[in-house]
Amino acid sequence: MEVFLQQLINGITLGSIYGLIAIGYTMVFGIIGMVNFAHGDVFMVSSFIALVAFLLLVSLLGSSSIALVLIVAMLFTSLVNWTIERLAYRPLRGSFRLAPLISAIGMSIFLSNFVQVTQGPRNKSIPPMVQGDFVLFTKNDYPVTLSVKQLIIWIVTAVLLVCFWYLVTRTRLGRAQRACEQDQKMAALVGVDVDRTISMTFVIAAALAAVAGTMYLMYYGVVSFADGFVPGVKAFTAAVLGGIGSLPGAVIGGILIGLIETMWSAYFSIDYKDVAAFSVLAITLIFLPQGLFGRPDVEKV
Amino acid sequence: MASGAPAKRVDAVRALRDAGVTALLTFGLFLPLIGFQTVTDVRNDLILNTRWPLLFAVVALVGFSRLAYSFAIEPWLQNRALKPAVEPAAWRGKVARWIIPFAIGFVVAYPAIVLATAGFGRSVKWIDNFGIQVLIYVMLGWGLNIVVGLAGLLDLGYVAFYAVGAYSYALLAKTFGFSFWILLPLAGTLASFWGILLGFPVLRLRGDYLAIVTLAFGEIIRIVLINWVDLTNGYAGITSIPRPTFFGIPFNADDDGFAAVFGLEYSPIYRTIFLYYLILALAFLTAFVTLRLRRLPVGRAWEALREDEIACRSLGINTTNTKLTAFAMGAMFAGFAGSFFAARQGFISPDSFTFLESATILSIVVLGGMGSQIGVAIAAVVMIGGTEIMRELDFLKLVFGSTFDPTQYRMLLFGLAMVLIMIWRPRGLITTRQPSVVLKERKAIASDLVKEGHG
């Protein structure tokens, strides 16, 4: 029981990070119908931006610099993703369907190698940003702990999700987004600036990925240029599991994937934890292609 | 210029403003990762170095490129758009007719050409790194072309079958001592069996979803290869895999070796040349089988499936069998290529079968123009030959200083090239297609008229 509770805490923390990345996948897929393959690498780039910002600011501000690091990472990552959309995806909109996918795979290879060339291939580890644990209770000499890091991740994720929920359901931009999702041509006819809306979608996706990237760096304290791929695929799995195009689905899917991964590592085999996540992806797509909260795909002739 | 309206004058203010904005944007983009470098100091702590000169050089370069674009390239593009489209010149048809025989002649004569120009000692590298390496990818591209280009099934886990072929050869050859020629068909059969096995669950999926599930399968196979240490030796890989022999004559310096039997002086070049012709024959086999299959009902069913799955089904074609045969055929050629790869390297490890390989092969197929075999071959030469040639650019050290290592930038430029080629030609290099069934006359169809990849 106590092991289970501890894994539950760890799994929800990991799942929050996946959920934040998954929202980026699901939003972009919802609006332009493409799997943004480079999104995992955008997450990795954001983690590096947070790393640089942390090293710059920590000597000035100490551990309270996290808030500032988060904002810096969000700003710069948004700029990166905005540029990627402008250069690599927008010229291909309305083109042959595989073209954006290949372009995104190319962008993903470019980003990870860009970081490798500019920052070096080695793992970058930093001293812990925040320390401290709360021991919730101890049973059979096994303390169930909730660390300050985990608490920060939970709070930041929850607060951002509320802000984000407000943005999508209550603002003009959110309405424009949902309109573009349903019918881009019609949205353009009633005066929605489709290009701008799609750009903003990429900016929001990047900002959330940057939050995930900063949290990832804070939680693990280490990042390398190759860290984009596996979290990216897992977050995509989360988006698929929750039902692609559905925002609450992405978050719940993320938490489920985080839980499956930590429980699998704790009770079965840590070597095969990625196999568990990938199998969930395959099984979901085969037996429940619309996901938990998605709309079924209507086949049109 | 005789026809068309005169080109608009370049608006200098606008051009300067655009260049300024682009430079500012570049500064913002590259400030964190080029402006600062994270390095480990003597106490093993991470510290920051600044690289302002490099950052400003990049910003200036991008700014000036934008300026050059406004002043030179944009007017030229506008002028070209104003001109009426010209009919393709007559010489193009002639070139197209001669290009394939010429290319076949060139690849057959390639080792001889290299031997004549580079000399005996240096040609091993050129035949091995360029010839064999490019031909492996040509063969993999042609194999994947059956699945993606003909049947329209987007497969991102193709490297799994390549791995199955390589590991089948390596394990069976080491454990039972079977020869390469027995194991080649066996590895192909095993790989196609896996193709059917993995194809079964994904029959209902289409498009991007299919791509992601095949990616997941590819990764699962790789993780199993890493963790099943008893069988595969994990990360360390399998070493000293038996090499193929020339009809029973090994390529070594012994008395019964190839050089001694034919009365030649021993040199590793003979094995390299033999391997070159082996992979060339395998690649031609792939191309030939594909060409013949396209004329059979199953090949026509593949192409019908690519164009429209629902129409295909309502015409009474069994889409299940059609998809499975496509997966099986594609996987079989990957298995052949895999066992060749294991035999050539003598060493395999899971590192050779990452997602990046699948992405590379898929990009070769798409960049070549899906379904076009000559396009796939050209794309493989450009992408693989291009990145291999980066290893040879030592003269760049004279320009950028001795610490400059061009090989670092191989994959960076590879990714960039994928994006740029897609923007330049979204449908790949060769976009016309020859229908395999015709009513009256044979003519090429522009691929803009068809929509594929929806099934």
Q: What is the pLDDT of residue B453?
A: 41
Interior angle at CA A106, CA B31 and CA B360, nearest 5: 140
Contact with chain A for residue B57, Cβ under 8 A: no
CA dihedral sign of residues B258, B262, B267, B268: negative
Of A235, A236, A229, the C-alpha closest to A116 is A229
Q: What is the pLDDT of residue B86?
A: 62
Quick one: average pLDDT of A147-170?
89
**What band does B2 get if pLDDT is binned at 50, 70 and 90?**
very low
Q: Evaluate whether B28 touches A76 at the Cβ level (below 8 Å).
A: yes
Q: Are residues B227 and B293 in the same domain?
A: yes
Q: Evaluate whether B341 touches B162 at the Cβ level (below 8 Å).
A: yes
What are the φ/ψ torsions at residue B249 (nearest 5 degrees)?
Answer: -95, 115
CA–chain centroid gap for B21, Å, is: 37
Quick one: average pLDDT of A255-263?
92
Provide the percentage of residues in chain A whose pLDDT is more than 70: 97
**What band does B232 get if pLDDT is binned at 50, 70 and 90?**
confident
Q: Please spell the DSSP secondary structure of B369-420, one letter per residue.
A: -TT-HHHHHHHHIIIIIHHHHGGG-TTHHHHH-TT--GGGGHHHHHHHHHHH
Q: Please spell the DSSP secondary structure of B122-190, one letter per residue.
A: HHHHIIIIIIIHHHHHHHHHHHHIIIIIIS----S-THHHHHHHHHHHHHHHHHH---HHHHHHHHHHH
Residues of A in contact with B370 (CB under 8 A): 98
Q: Are residues B399 and B273 in the same domain?
A: yes
Quick one: average pLDDT of A261-277?
85
What letter would DSSP give residue B40? E
| Rounded Cα–Cα distance for residues B114 and B95 (Å) | 25
Q: Are residues B78 and B107 in the same domain?
A: no
User: pLDDT averaged over chain B?
Assistant: 83
- Distance from the Cα of A139 to chain B's closest Cα (Å) equals 34
Bigger pLDDT: B413 vs B428 = B413
3-state secondary structure of A224: coil
Residues of B in contact with A103 (CB under 8 A): 418-419, 422-423
Q: What is the pLDDT of residues A202-218, one digit of tens each?
A: 999 999 999 999 999 99
Q: Which of B37, B219, B223 sits opposite A119 (nearest CB)?
A: B37
Looking up tokens 């070769």 gives B364
List beta partners, residue A155. Answer: none
Which one-letter amino acid corresponds to residue B438? V
Quick one: average pLDDT of A143-165?
88
Between the two ends of chain B, the Cα-to-Cα distance in Å is 48
Q: How many domains does chain B have?
A: 2
Q: Which of B216, B355, B414 sits opposite A229 (nearest CB)?
A: B355
Q: What is the pTM of this model?
A: 0.88
Q: Please spell the DSSP secondary structure of B82-140, one letter per residue.
A: HSPPPPPPHHHHHHHHHHHHHHHHHHHHHHHHHHHHHHHHHHHHIIIIIIIHHHHHHHH
Contact with chain A for residue B213, Cβ under 8 A: yes
CA dihedral sign of residues B170, B173, B176, B177: negative
Domain that holds residue B70: 12-82
Q: Are residues B141 and B52 in the same domain?
A: no
**What band does A97 get if pLDDT is binned at 50, 70 and 90?**
confident
Cross-chain residue pair A124–B423, CB shorter than 8 Å:
no
Give me B94's structure tokens: 């002639």
Q: What is the pLDDT of residues A53-75, one digit of tens each?
A: 988 887 777 767 788 899 999 99
Residues of A in contact with B359 (CB under 8 A): 105, 109
Quick one: average pLDDT of B329-337?
95
Q: What is the pLDDT of residue B429?
A: 77
Restricting to B residues 364-383, those with a Cβ less than 8 Å away from any Cβ of A are: 366-367, 370
Q: Evaluate whether A177 touches A197 at the Cβ level (below 8 Å).
A: yes
Q: What is the pLDDT of residues B236-256, one digit of tens each?
A: 888 888 888 777 777 777 777
Per domain, the residue ranges of chain A are: 2-227
Which one-letter amino acid corresponds to residue B442? R
Q: Are residues B55 and B178 in the same domain?
A: no
3-state secondary structure of A2: helix
Cross-chain residue pair A48–B25, CB shorter than 8 Å:
no
pLDDT at residue B454 tops 50: no
Residues whose CB is less than 8 angstroms from the CB of residue B428 and which lie 6 or more positions away in sequence, other chains included: B366, B367, B368, B369, B370, B372, B375, B379
Q: Are residues B193 and B76 in the same domain?
A: no
**What band does B3 get if pLDDT is binned at 50, 70 and 90?**
very low
Cross-chain residue pair B46–A125, CB shorter than 8 Å:
yes
Phi-psi region of B414 (alpha: psi -120 to 50; beta: other; left: phi over 0): alpha
Q: What is the pLDDT of residue A43?
A: 95
CB neighbour class for A53 (10 Å; exposed up to 12, middle 13-18, buried from 19) = buried
Which one-letter amino acid corresponds to residue A55? L
Q: Evaluate whether B417 touches B383 at the Cβ level (below 8 Å).
A: yes
Bigger pLDDT: B446 vs A133 = A133
Q: What is the pLDDT of residues A103-147, one digit of tens each?
A: 998 999 999 999 998 888 888 888 877 777 888 788 777 888 888
In this predicted structure, which of B14-28, B264-278, B331-345, B354-368 has the lowest mean pLDDT?
Answer: B264-278
Q: Is residue B337 part of a domain?
A: yes
Q: What is the pLDDT of residue B141?
A: 94
Q: What is the pLDDT of residue B137?
A: 94
Q: Are residues B248 and B172 in the same domain?
A: yes
Residue A3 CB neighbours (<10 A): 14
The continuous run of DSSP H or E covering A125 comes out as strand A124-125
Q: Are residues B252 and B286 in the same domain?
A: yes
Q: Evaluate whether B96 touches B56 at the Cβ level (below 8 Å).
A: no
Quick one: average pLDDT of B92-111?
81
Q: What is the pLDDT of residue B432?
A: 66
In this predicted structure, which of A98-107, A115-124, A233-242, A265-274 has the lowest mean pLDDT?
Answer: A265-274
Contact with chain B for residue A289, Cβ under 8 A: yes
Interior angle at CA B160, CA B340 and CA A259, nearest 5: 155
Contact with chain B for residue A87, Cβ under 8 A: yes
Q: What is the pLDDT of residue A257?
A: 92
The continuous run of DSSP H or E covering A25 comes out as helix A2-32
Q: Which of B34, B311, B419 sits opposite A110 (nearest CB)?
A: B419
pLDDT at residue B332 tops 90: yes
Contact with chain B for residue A281, Cβ under 8 A: yes
Q: Looking at beta carbons, which pairs linking A165-174 to residues 24 or more positions away fall under 8 Å? A: A165/A247, A167/A204, A168/A247, A173/A197, A173/A200
Q: What is the pLDDT of residue B178?
A: 87
- Distance from the Cα of A286 to chain B's closest Cα (Å) equals 6
C-alpha distances (whole Å) from A246 to each of A161, A291, A299, B196, B223 are 13, 9, 19, 33, 30
**What band does B1 get if pLDDT is binned at 50, 70 and 90?**
very low
C-alpha distances (whole Å) from B1 to each of A88, B4, B74 are 34, 8, 17
Q: What is the pLDDT of residue A298?
A: 55
List beta partners, residue B49. Answer: B37
Q: Which of B211, B411, B427 sits opposite A109 (nearest CB)?
A: B411
Cross-chain residue pair B419–A107, CB shorter than 8 Å:
yes
Of A128, A164, A131, the C-alpha closest to A148 is A131
ipTM of the complex: 0.88
Quick one: average pLDDT of B310-321?
89
pLDDT at residue B167 tops 80: yes
Q: What is the pLDDT of residue B13?
A: 86
pLDDT at residue B438 tops 80: no
Q: Which of B36, B227, B419 sits opposite A88 (nearest CB)?
A: B419
Q: Are residues B117 and B204 in the same domain?
A: yes
Q: Is residue B24 part of a domain?
A: yes
Contact with chain B for residue A106, Cβ under 8 A: yes
Contact with chain A for residue B223, Cβ under 8 A: yes
Cross-chain residue pair A103–B418, CB shorter than 8 Å:
yes
Alpha helices in B202-318 (DSSP H): 207-227, 229-232, 258-261, 269-295, 297-307, 309-314
| Rounded Cα–Cα distance for residues B220 and A230 (Å) | 12
Q: Are residues B283 and B150 in the same domain?
A: yes
Residues of A in contact with B157 (CB under 8 A): none
3-state secondary structure of B36: strand
Pair type for strands B445-446 and B432-433: antiparallel
**What band does B446 get if pLDDT is binned at 50, 70 and 90?**
low
pLDDT at residue B325 tops 90: yes
3-state secondary structure of A181: helix
Q: What is the pLDDT of residues B55-76, one digit of tens each?
A: 999 999 999 998 888 888 888 8
Q: What is the pLDDT of residue B449?
A: 53
Quick one: average pLDDT of A166-170?
87
Give me A88's structure tokens: 């690599």
pLDDT at residue A293 tops 90: no
Residues of B in contact with A299 (CB under 8 A): 310
Q: Are residues B353 and B248 in the same domain?
A: yes
Interior angle at CA B262, CA B257 and CA B263, nearest 5: 100
Residue A33 CB neighbours (<10 A): 15
Quick one: average pLDDT of A185-205?
91
| Rounded Cα–Cα distance for residues B344 and A283 (Å) | 37
Q: Are residues B32 and B141 in the same domain?
A: no
Q: What is the pLDDT of residue A196?
A: 92
